[in-house]
Amino acid sequence: MKFIQPLEIASKIMTLIEEAEKELIIISPYVEISKWNKMKSCLNRAVLRNVNILFVARKNAKQDLSFITELGIKVKLVENLHAKLYINDNYAIVTSQNITYYSDVNSIDIGYKTDAEEERIELIEFIDKYVISNSYKKLDTSKSFKFNIVKESNKPPMLNEYKVNKLYESFSVKYPNAYFSKSSTYLYSEGLLPYVVMLSSDLTVRLSKKNDDCLKVISHYEAVNFPLIEDYNIELKEVTNYFYINFVPKNLKGYGIQKLTSDYHEMVRTFKDNPTKF
């Protein structure tokens, strides 16, 4: 990480926003930019570039988020939030500074910038685990459910090459012992789970019928609480030699790659935390 001089932190954050090409994460407990025209212009230009923006602020804090929401940016509110992080496609800033004009003018803050992809992914995983996941609704683990049996999966359009590369970067760093290969539209993995996993606009687990316990495995996972399941249709498709369990977003529109990556990590973690005993 590279140290940022205190008087340069705000300008570095605005530069990070300006250089966001596809994805932007802003984690700022307190927000007040009504008098901060430069920051307002940076955010407005990011919206006009169709950058996917994850904006997280502190719940129950007295602050004005009107300009942010008027731009069409959805703000996720999280209780007890204190971390301040700013991340784009290529680098990240960790700092004590909020997105407030007062902080820019009056506060003495500290900040560091990292260009290391591994560190950037670690920060995204921190957000996924401690910031975003805390606001997800969980299903009652005492209740089981049945996968929706389909003949043809209702898959949304495939991902583009940029998003596949982001999935690859995140999963290959977190699971270095698994095998990954990628095409322009999906990521294929062996060794991530005991079953083949394919990642695209849906997460697919392929079970071979050569395994005598295949139906028991399916029954086992029907009784498992998968985080974020209320945002997904879980489909079970049978073909000649395989069963496919597909986690399909109910509405892919508005799903940034950070959201999909976070969900997919949670699903894989849930599979790993609930191994079969067959």
CATH number at residue 38: 3.30.870.10
Q: Residue 25: give the domain boundaries.
A: 2-135
> Length of the chain in residues, anyone?
278
Read off the pLDDT band of 228 (50, 70, 90): low
Read off the pLDDT band of 60 (50, 70, 90): confident
- pLDDT > 80? residue 104: no
Give the strand pairing for 196-199 and 187-190.
antiparallel
- Cα separation, 262 vs 264, in Å, equals 6
Whether residues 186 and 76 fall in one domain? no
- pLDDT > 70? residue 145: no
- Cα separation, 194 vs 272, in Å, equals 9
pTM of the model: 0.55
Query: How many domains does the chain fold into?
Result: 2
- Output the DSSP codes for 46-115: HHHTT-EEEEEEETT-----HHHHHTTPPEEEETT----EEEESS-EEEES--EEHHHHHH----EEEE-
142 within a domain of the structure (yes/no): no
Whether residues 173 and 108 fall in one domain? no
Q: Which residues have C-beta within 8 Å of that of residue 176, sequence separation ≥ 6?
A: none
Last residue of a domain, one of 112, 135, 158: 135
Q: Which of 151-160, 212-221, 248-257 has the lowest mean pLDDT?
A: 248-257
> What interhelical angle do 117-126 and 257-273 show, nearest 10?
70
63 within a domain of the structure (yes/no): yes
Question: Number of helices and strands (H, E) in the chain?
Answer: 8, 16
